[in-house]
Structures are given as structure tokens and as C-alpha cells.
Amino acid sequence: MENGVVTLERYWKNFRIFSYRNRTLVEFFFIGIYGFEQLMLVGFTFFWPELLMLIITNYSIILLTTFALNKLVMESRIRILENNITNISKKYDILKILFDLGLDRKEKTKITKDLNRYKTQKEMR
């Protein structure tokens, strides 16, 4: 059971990163799903008008589920952006303190490289 959860977590993390890096592609994907759902609604209501209430009810449930998944993916993407902004803000604050302390340029460059290396290592986890 735990192995399945770890695998699911890894897939979700990879999908979050994919949606962060490929926002337009993910948006087009969801637009395609919405369009397909609407085509299915029109097709089903045309061929089975006697089941109209059942078709519309199921369509509404599917549409709301799609909206929820789209919202979940976009919120996850926004969370990544917020984390990036927080990291940049922290780096800025540290660099401002270093500047105020009057460290020479060589020391500031070394500390900046260390901060960038730390960020890169943190992202790889």
C-alpha cells in the first residue's frame, strides 16, 4: 500500500512540475476536454432525446468534476509560483543584509553562488 502511495506522490509531483512548465499545453488540454464533453452532450441529446434528464444530469456531474480537476492543477501551479517568489524574496533579504554589512564583492559573489546551489539542490528533491 505504501509503495502505491509513494508512486502516486511521485506521479503527482511530476505532473505538477509539468503543468507549471507547460501551462499553455495543459490549458489547451482542458479546453479540449470541455469541448469534447459539449460535443458528447449534443450528440447524446440528439440520438436519445427520451433520456434528456439523465444525460444532462450526468453531463453536469462530469463537467463539475472536470472543473475541479482543472482548479486543482492550476492551484498546484500557483503554489509552485508562490514558493518561487518566497525563495527569491528570502534571497533578496539576505543579499540586502550582506550589502548593508559592507562585504566585499568577492565574498558577496561566493555567498550568492552558495545560495543558488542550495536552491538547485532543494528543487531536485
95's grid cell: 543579499
CB 99 within 8 A of CB 108: yes
DSSP states of 21-66: HTHHHHHHHHHHHHHHHHHHHHHHHHH-GGGHHHHHHHHHHHHHHH
pLDDT score for 55: 94
pLDDT score for 8: 87
Residues 36-67: tens digit of each pLDDT: 999 999 999 999 999 999 999 999 999 999 99
Residues 56-99: tens digit of each pLDDT: 999 999 999 999 999 999 998 888 889 888 888 888 888 777 77
Q: Is 123's pLDDT higher than 70? A: no
Question: Which residue is it, cell 511521485?
Answer: 10
Q: How far apart are CA 81 and CA 90, in angstroms?
A: 14
CB-count burial class (<10 Å; 0-12, 13-18, 19+) for 41: middle
CB 79 within 8 A of CB 72: no
